[in-house]
Amino acid sequence: MNMETFFSVFPGLMEGAWLTVQLVGIAVLIGFAIALPVALLRVSENPLVRAGPYAYIFFFRGTPLLVQIFLVYYGLSQFEAVRDSFLWPVLREAYWCAIIAFSLNTAAYSAEILRGAIQAVPWGEVEAARAVGMSRALTYRRIILPRAFRICLPAYGNEVILMVKSSALASTITLLDLTGMARKIIAVNYQPVETFAAAGVIYLVMIFLFATFLRWLEKRLHANLSPPPGMPN
């Protein structure tokens, strides 16, 4: 391992890391915004309402993300109707194609995580809310969803971490994310071991920072569960 190469590739890779952060950040926000309504429809008692979200989740969990990215980027552009439509200025950009594919993918997983959490909210709490006369919407807003968010946080954090790593697939559609940048550098220096090792270190640091934030958030949301100051843990 050539340490000189290992250190010299960091400035270039950091540029790529910034694109990775953007892609994942935007995709996770959009993905969550989609996941919430999908999860709510998914827990509906009406089978017809449940069917749509079910089909959506079935497709996006059942196919590889790489296939989804290729379908959005190379697939849609095959159709003249798409190329002539008002969507083309967005769809012609690899950046937005990656965000669309990532968002839809993470939304499907997040919706399932959220559905599980909603169903795991203790029934007694829902019953109590009803007993004090809360409407259905108010019960969701004040009791079920806040509880569900706390319940799903570890699983959801996992999903975001998986997304950070899956975002390496953006490099297959010309984007110079962290992995794309590493490949571009390797094309010139022919030292994949050093270059990918450096990229791996940056992924590790990014995920470590996120995991630390997650732990802090979990602690805050579950303040009632930690022992009072001075007590043994």
Partner 1 sequence: MTIKKTLAAAATAVVLAASATAAQAQDTIRIATEGAFPPFNTIDESGQLQGFDVDIANALCKEMEADCEIVAQDWDGIIPGLLAKKYDAIIASMSITPERQKAVDFTDPYYSNKLQFVAPKGQEIDTSPEALEGKTIGAQRATISGQWLEENVPGADIKLYGTQEEAFLDLASGRLDAVLNDVYVTYDWLQTEEGGTFEFKGEPVYDEDKIGIAVRKGDDELLNRLNEALAAIIEDGTYADINEKYFPFSIY
CB of 206 to partner 1, least distance (A): 24
The runs of H, that is alpha helices, within the chain are 3-8, 10-42, 47-62, 65-70, 80-84, 88-91, 94-120, 123-131, 136-139, 145-166, 178-189, 192-221
CA pair distance 146, 85, nearest whole angstrom:
41
State the greatest distance between any 2 C-alpha atoms of the chain, in Å, as a whole number: 69
* Contact range with partner 1 by CB under 8 A, out of 21-29, 56-64, 145-153, 187-195: 187-195
Amino acid at 220: R
| 197 touching partner 1, by CB under 8 A | no
By beta-carbon proximity to partner 1, the closer residue of 148 and 169 is 169
CB of 102 to partner 1, least distance (A): 19
By beta-carbon proximity to partner 1, the closer residue of 94 and 99 is 94
CA pair distance 106, 87, nearest whole angstrom:
22
| 187 touching partner 1, by CB under 8 A | yes
| 168 touching partner 1, by CB under 8 A | no
The contact mask relative to partner 1 for 68-107 (x = CB under 8 A, - = no) is ------x--xx----x--------x-x-------------
**Residue 164 near residue 20 (C-beta atoms within 8 A):** yes
* Contact range with partner 1 by CB under 8 A, out of 28-36, 111-119, 129-137, 181-189: 181-189
| 66 touching partner 1, by CB under 8 A | no
| 225 touching partner 1, by CB under 8 A | no
Helix, strand, or coil (residue 232): coil
Encoding tokens for residue 154?
A: 């570890």
By beta-carbon proximity to partner 1, the closer residue of 106 and 191 is 191
By beta-carbon proximity to partner 1, the closer residue of 115 and 183 is 183
Q: Which of 191, 198, 203, 206 binds partner 1 (CB under 8 A)?
A: 191
Distance (Å) of CA 105 to CA 111, 115, 167: 10, 16, 11
Distance (Å) of CA 82 to CA 79, 85, 100, 177: 5, 5, 15, 26
What does the binding site for partner 1 look like in residue numbers (CB under 8 A)? 74, 77-78, 83, 92, 94, 172, 174, 183-184, 186-188, 190-192
